[in-house]
């Protein structure tokens, strides 16, 4: 998975999975462009001073104009990896319209806008490229979305978007895929679920390797896949 000389955008790159993905990309020779919204996350980002990383502050990925302008600043885009998102638990009786709208915004809208801008950038390059999104286990196994229906619906929409878009742009040599994690082994998830079997959760470094393959030039045929990365859960 050689990314030498290739430019990659990673949204959500300052998060738990993002740190692992950006680290693996750097090690593979990629130049990474990472937008962020929260300054505290950027300050804690371990790759912030790496010569192959450029950070872009206060980019609201739900804002179409902001997303478009950001992508226009990045030249020769090869891959766009969309990790940005959010989780809102809650039984449907307690989760009204605002919860659903929020989940659609942070999970589906950010993904849609970034996919759209990425595809336009890749079309301008005429060299093809790769797009990788992040769905979730409830996007594939709907019953596991009990107690988090708004989240499950938004991630199922990401999965549908991925497959539809993959079919649409395959002729342009752009391969679009997604991964669908179960509960990732991150400090935040361990804190939220201290009694869980953390050893069974998929490790972010391992999920990052799956993402890197899908985003790499080594991936020549896989498209329209929503790849389960469940670990042993």
SS (H, E, C) 143-205: HHHCCEHHHHHHHHHHHHHHHHHHHHHHHHCEEEEEEEECCCECHHHHHHCCCCCHHHCCEHH
Q: How confident is the model over 177-190, as a mean pLDDT?
A: 94
126 conformational bin, left if phi > 0, alpha if psi -120 to 50, beta if neither: left
Q: How confident is the model over 170-190, as a mean pLDDT?
A: 95
- Over the stretch 74-105, which tens digit does the pLDDT of each residue have? 999 999 999 999 999 999 999 999 999 999 99
Assess whether pLDDT exceeds 90 at residue 232: no
- The domain ranges of the chain are 7-226
Closest CA relative to residue 59, chosen from 103, 114, 7, 8: 114
Q: Domain 7-226: give its CATH architecture.
A: 3-Layer(aba) Sandwich (3.40)
Q: Which tokens hold the place of 110?
A: 């950010």
Q: How confident is the model at residue 165 (pLDDT cuts 50, 70, 90)?
A: very high
Inter-CA distances, 224 with 121, 136, 214, Å: 20, 15, 11
Q: What is the pLDDT of residue 233?
A: 79
Q: What is the pLDDT of residue 126?
A: 80
Q: How confident is the model at residue 217 (pLDDT cuts 50, 70, 90)?
A: very high
Q: Which tokens hold the place of 147?
A: 């107690």
Q: What is the pLDDT of residue 127?
A: 85
Burial class (CB in 10 A: 0-12, 13-18, 19+), 136: buried
Contact (Cβ atoms closer than 8 angstroms) between residue 101 and residue 35: no
Contact (Cβ atoms closer than 8 angstroms) between residue 175 and residue 219: yes
Q: How confident is the model over 3-14, as a mean pLDDT?
A: 98
Closest CA relative to residue 201, chosen from 179, 231, 229, 180: 231
The whole-chain average pLDDT of the chain stands at 96
- Cα–Cα distance measured from residue 124 to residue 78, given in angstroms and rounded to the nearest whole number: 11
- Cα–Cα distance measured from residue 7 to residue 72, given in angstroms and rounded to the nearest whole number: 13
DSSP code for 15: S
Closest CA relative to residue 203, chosen from 21, 42, 41, 53: 21
The DSSP element (H or E) to which 232 belongs, if any, is none
Backbone angles phi, psi at 229, to 5 degrees: -130, 80
Q: Tokens 């395959």 appear where?
A: 170
Contact (Cβ atoms closer than 8 angstroms) between residue 202 and residue 230: yes
């Amino acid at each position: 998975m050689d990314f030498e000389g290739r430019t990659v955008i990673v949204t959500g790159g300052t998060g738990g999975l993002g740190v692992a993905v950006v680290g693996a990309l750097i090690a593979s020779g990629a130049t990474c462009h990472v937008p962020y919204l929260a300054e505290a996350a950027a300050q804690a980002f371990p790759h912030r001073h790496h010569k192959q990383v450029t950070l872009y502050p206060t980019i609201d990925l739900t804002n179409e104009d902001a997303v478009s302008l950001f992508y226009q600043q990045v030249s020769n885009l090869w891959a766009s990896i969309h990790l940005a998102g959010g989780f809102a638990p809650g039984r449907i009786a307690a989760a009204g319209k605002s919860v659903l709208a929020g989940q659609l915004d942070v999970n589906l809208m950010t993904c849609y806008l970034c996919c759209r801008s990425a595809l336009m950038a890749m079309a301008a390059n005429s060299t093809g490229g790769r797009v990788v999104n992040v769905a979730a286990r409830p996007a594939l196994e709907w019953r596991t979305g009990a107690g988090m229906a708004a989240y499950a619906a938004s991630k199922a929409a990401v999965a549908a978007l991925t497959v539809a878009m993959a079919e649409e742009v395959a002729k342009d040599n752009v391969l679009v895929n997604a991964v669908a994690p179960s509960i990732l082994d991150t400090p935040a998830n361990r804190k939220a679920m201290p009694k869980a079997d953390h050893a069974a959760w998929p490790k972010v470094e391992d999920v990052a390797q799956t993402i890197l393959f899908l985003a790499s030039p080594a991936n020549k045929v896989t498209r329209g896949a929503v790849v389960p990365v469940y670990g042993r859960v």
